[in-house]
Amino acid sequence: VTETITTEIVTKLEPKRMAVLTSGGDSSGMNPAIRAFARMAMIKGAQVFAIREGYNGLVNDSIVPLHWGSVGGIISRGGTIIGTARCADFRKRDGRKRAVYNLIKNKIDNLLVIGGDGSLTGANLLRSEWCGLIKDLVDDGTLDKECIEKYPTLSIAGLVGSIDNDMCGTDLTIGADTATQRILEAIDSILSTAVSHQRSFVLEVMGRNCGWLALVSGLATGADYIFVPECPPEDGWEQNMIEGLERGRVSGRRCSLVIVSEGAIDKKGNPITSSYVRQTLENAGHDARITILGHVQRGGTPTFLDRYIATRMGVDAVEYFYSTDEKDKEPALIGMDGMKVTRSPLMDCVKTTQSISTLIQEKKFNQVVDLRGSLFGEFYNIFRTCANLQRSGKSSNNHSLVILHSGGPCPGMNPAVRAFTRLGIDRGYKVYGAFNGFGGLAKDELQPLDWMTVNGWSVMGGAELGTNRSIPNDDNIQDIINVIQKYNISGVLMFGGYNGYVGISKLYKYAQKYPVLKKLSIIGAPGTIANNVPGTNISIGSDTCLNNILDALDKIKQSAVASRRLFVVEVMGAHCGYLCTMSSLASGAERSYTMEKGLTLESLTEDLEMFVDRFEKEHKIGLIIKSENASETYTTHFIYSLFKEEGKHLFDVRESILGHLQQGGTPSGIDRVFSTRLMNQYFNFLDKQLAETGEISMCGCIGFINGQIEFTPMDEMIKEMDDKYRRPHVQWWLDLDKISQDISVAPAQTNSN
């Protein structure tokens, strides 16, 4: 500490002064979090600083002001532009004393830390020692004594940046989804060669104390076996594994996949290494290969979900620092519950998380799984069932169910049918697939689904069962009834889009006329890229679609490096602006045009003026994302022509209609595991009704509501549907458009550079 700070320079200034640092291992999504935090803070009038290289920057005064432009163009970049590090000095009180001095020197008393549990523990320690350290600095004569009153407390907010998804207090940590995606890309490539050569592959993924990545990638790829630290296998697992793989071979699998978490252990706490697993397989005669993914998992462009959660959390951190609510006085961990942002007491989350390593060492594995949250245990059990490792042993319950799709195809349909089949069989149901939707059901295009029919479907895009837009009507209802009676069907599960929801509501209404339908369970489950169906916050398929859109947008933006160009990009969504709003939020588009918001000549003129102003200020690129049906009159081509003509002195305009690439591709990790989870809960609902009433007759839809899977009865579901615009009356995400726009366009008074 070199400079003595006097009262003059510590005079506390309005506006608020806030700083952000990234610490510990990097993770993809840290940049969008920094961007959202910095810009939202600037909008509120705060002065924002970046602390470089984690706590090193705090100890050594590497603190730099951030401007609107310093965080421009980073939303799609992996890693962290402000650097991250591990800092030994900060672990010592003297290092933290220097940190306090440097914060006060820069008049900063709001600190956002993005890192793992270690980094957040450090932040909390700094806060708890804050007053004592200021007093020490005053006693040393380094700080003026007025600082004690001027800086009574350090406000701390924490976001968890960790690829491991290892923190309590949030469903998802920043970087975990991108890491999962990297793993899935690798496994999808490995599987094609493994199948060709009939090989066994052992894949090691990251996760020293947490098996999330191994678990989710195992579930999403239909792996044969996984090893995670939380759930060590029983003694004699080597033999069980060999027998399990053998059963798969006998039933027709051409390859085997074993995923090992780097921290995997056995019941005695001894490590289970990937090389030992390979050796075990080779000893049993397998042609076994090993792949250790390493740092590939950390890197690369953040996925849609990582950009989304990072942006929401970054914005909420600013709200937290401005909060005057008493409960916000304690340090907060900002996390996610489904698509919603949450705040929890930071140290409670850190302590619970850290207790997990102790419990693993003490071999209290049941408690470990409980503390990881309900999703972990549920995923683990689903994985074990679908991999044929842990079967319920239930005998037939004499109920037959049929699954069908309706509407456009969406990524996630095949994993859903796989889970429906295997989980259904496990619980004693006879399961059928109807090809080509309700039309196929009427034409008796049914096929019994057995365990191996769906082998390999967890990684497949498209819809093997086919899908179409026909729905029950007066012409085909009798045929549908005949088929239902012929196969003695107790339940129809429609996994699809809005059209399918209209279809199930029709079928339900026919029950008034045809009593034989009265006892039929009719359920809808959301499978559509557009996310425009009732009874759910999110539909399966939209995550993959948003990743496809972002991939295209990143490329489109890069194509403009040498020019001054405005892009008008049209995305799908029918009459629902979800894809448009979310892709804008996650790509940093300056404007998004949706039908919900509406388009007028006045708003277009304002936007034109805004873009002219931006390009005059040397901006090189602009992006407008437009939902396909945003306006009947102001079409994509009209908007392109308008901006091209009126902006031709400053910029060039390009129009791009993304089209069907949005519907295709292999499903994302999220779409694979959440479609599987949806099916698991479907059977939970049916089993419950069966146990309570002895029959299956529930009608309605199932969907994701605030992180849980909920059932909505049919009458309520129908009320939620806006048949004119084919979307729900109430849509939760509408307000996000404002956040997206606010943090993408510099306010007039802000220096945009």
Catalytic residue positions, numbered: 164
Residues linked to residue 703 through DSSP beta bridges, in sequence order: 710
Q: By CB under 6 A, which span of 21-29, 44-52, 180-188, 725-733 interacts with ligand ATP?
A: 21-29
- Tokens 């919603």 belong to 340
Q: How far is the CB of 126 from ligand ATP (least distance, A)?
A: 8
Helices (H), 81-167: 93-105, 117-139, 146-150
Contact segment (CB under 6 A) with ligand ATP among 116-124, 128-136, 364-372, 745-753 equals: 116-124
Of 79, 115, 411, 669, the one binding ligand ATP (CB under 6 A) is 115
91 vs 249, beta carbon nearer ligand ATP: 91
> Residue 448 is encoded by which pair of tokens?
């019994």
Which parts of 362-435 fold into alpha helices (H)?
A: 365-371, 374-386, 413-426
Piece of the chain touching ligand ATP by CB under 6 A; list 118-126, 180-188, 272-280, 604-612: 118-126
Distance between terminal CA atoms of the chain?
Answer: 32
382-411: which residues touch ligand ATP (CB under 6 A)? none
Of 397, 454, 457, 403, whose CA–CA distance to 428 is shortest? 397
Part in contact with ligand ATP (CB under 6 A); list of ranges 12-20, 117-125, 312-320, 664-672 = 117-125
Nearer to ligand ATP by Cβ, of 23 and 181: the residue is 23
Under a CB-based contact definition with an 8 Å cutoff, are residues 334 and 320 in contact?
yes
Task: Kindly indicate which of the ranges 18-26, 405-413, 580-588, 597-605 contains the residues binding ligand ATP, using the contact rule CB under 6 A.
Answer: 18-26
Cβ proximity to ligand ATP: between 306 and 426 the closer is 306
91 binds ligand ATP (CB under 6 A): yes
Among 53, 61, 117, 262, binds ligand ATP (CB under 6 A): 117
CB 329 within 8 A of CB 154: no
Residue pair 532/726 in contact (Cβ under 8 Å)? The answer is yes
Pick 120 or 220: Cβ nearer ligand ATP: 120
Q: Which residue of this chain has its Cβ atom nearest to ligand ATP in the complex? A: 118
Query: Judged by CB under 6 A, which of 32, 78, 83, 116 binds ligand ATP?
Result: 116
Nearer to ligand ATP among residue 84 and residue 680 (C-beta): 84
Shortest Å, Cβ 208 to ligand ATP? 8
Residue from the set 1, 10, 64, 125 that interacts with ligand ATP by CB under 6 A: 125
Which helix (H) or strand (E) covers residue 642, if one does?
helix 636-646
Residues 439-468 that bind ligand ATP (CB under 6 A): none
E strand residue ranges, 42-123: 47-51, 63-65, 110-115
Q: For residue 325, what are the CA distances in angstroms to 20, 45, 457?
A: 22, 20, 49
- Scanning 20-28, 175-183, 346-354, 372-380 for contacts with ligand ATP by CB under 6 A, the matching segment is 20-28
Tell which one of 80, 162, 200, 421 touches ligand ATP (CB under 6 A).
162
Q: Applying CB under 6 A, does 352 fall inside the site for ligand ATP?
A: no
Least CB distance to ligand ATP at residue 27 (A): 8
d(CA 445, CA 488): 15
Its sign, for the CA torsion 413, 414, 415, 420, is positive
Minimum CB separation from ligand ATP for residue 77, in Å?
A: 19
Q: What are phi and psi of 205, to 5 degrees?
A: -120, 165
- What is the footprint of ligand ATP within residues 47-66 (CB under 6 A)? 55
Q: Which of 69, 72, 73, 118 binds ligand ATP (CB under 6 A)?
A: 118
Binding track over 232-251 against ligand ATP, x by CB under 6 A? --------------------
Phi-psi region of 574 (alpha: psi -120 to 50; beta: other; left: phi over 0): left
Residue 212 in contact with ligand ATP, rule: CB under 6 A? no
Q: Give all strands of the β-sheet with 200-205 in edge-to-edge order.
A: 225-227, 256-261, 200-205, 288-292
Span of 83-91, 130-138, 179-187, 401-409 interacting with ligand ATP by CB under 6 A: 83-91
Q: Could you give the maximum distance between any two Cα atoms of the chain, in Å? A: 91
Give the separation between CA 57 and CA 77, rounded to whole angstroms.
22
Q: Binding-site residue total for ligand ATP (CB under 6 A)?
A: 17
Local structure of 82: helix, strand or coil: coil
Smallest separation (angstroms) from ligand ATP to the CB of 618 = 38
Question: What's the min distance (Å) between Cβ of 260 and ligand ATP?
Answer: 20
* CB nearer to ligand ATP: pick between 179 and 492: 179
Q: Which of 58, 87, 401, 736 is close enough to bind ligand ATP by CB under 6 A?
A: 87
Cis peptide before 526 (omega within 30 of 0): no
Minimum Å gap between C-beta 34 and ligand ATP is 16
Q: In the bound complex, what is the minimum distance in angstroms from residue 318's beta carbon to ligand ATP?
A: 22
Q: Residue from 32, 57, 78, 122 that binds ligand ATP (CB under 6 A)?
A: 122
261 binds ligand ATP (CB under 6 A): no
Q: Which range of residues in 112-120, 217-225, 641-649, 654-662 is near ligand ATP by CB under 6 A?
A: 112-120
What is the Rg, in whole angstroms, of the alpha carbon atoms belonging to the chain?
A: 28
What are residue 568's DSSP bridge partners?
A: 624, 655
Q: C-beta of 83: minimal distance to ligand ATP in Å? A: 13
Pick from 33, 145, 39: nearest CA to 84 = 33
Residue 129: φ, ψ to 5°:
-95, -5
What is the spatial distance between Cα 411 and Cα 665, in angstroms, rounded to a whole number?
Answer: 7
Tell whether residue 119 is a contact of ligand ATP (CB under 6 A): yes
- Residue 224 CA, chain-centre distance (Å), reads 25
Rounded Cα gap, residues 483 and 619, in angstroms: 62
Q: Of the candidates 23, 28, 47, 70, which one interacts with ligand ATP according to CB under 6 A?
A: 23
Nearer to ligand ATP, 125 or 341 (CB): 125
Angle between helices 542-558 and 578-587 (to 10 degrees): 50
Partners of residue 493 on adjacent β-strands: 403, 523
Tokens 């916000």 found at: 328
Bridge pairing between strands 225-227 and 110-115? unpaired
Instruction: For residue 24, state whether it binds ligand ATP (rule: CB under 6 A).
Output: yes
Residue 655: strand pairing partners: 568
Q: Note whether 121 binds ligand ATP by CB under 6 A.
A: yes
Stretch 664-703: interaction string toward ligand ATP, x if CB under 6 A = ----------------------------------------
Q: Between the CA atoms of 244, 245, 247 and 252, what dihedral angle is there, to the nearest 10 degrees? A: 150
Q: How many whole angstroms separate alpha carbon 525 and alpha carbon 678?
A: 8
Token pair for 516: 């034989």
Our CB check for ligand ATP shows the closer of 86 and 384 to be 86
Q: Minimum distance between the CB of residue 167 and ligand ATP, rounded to whole angstroms?
A: 9
Instruction: Write out the residues near ligand ATP by the rule CB under 6 A.
Output: 23-25, 55, 86-87, 90-91, 115-119, 121-122, 125, 162
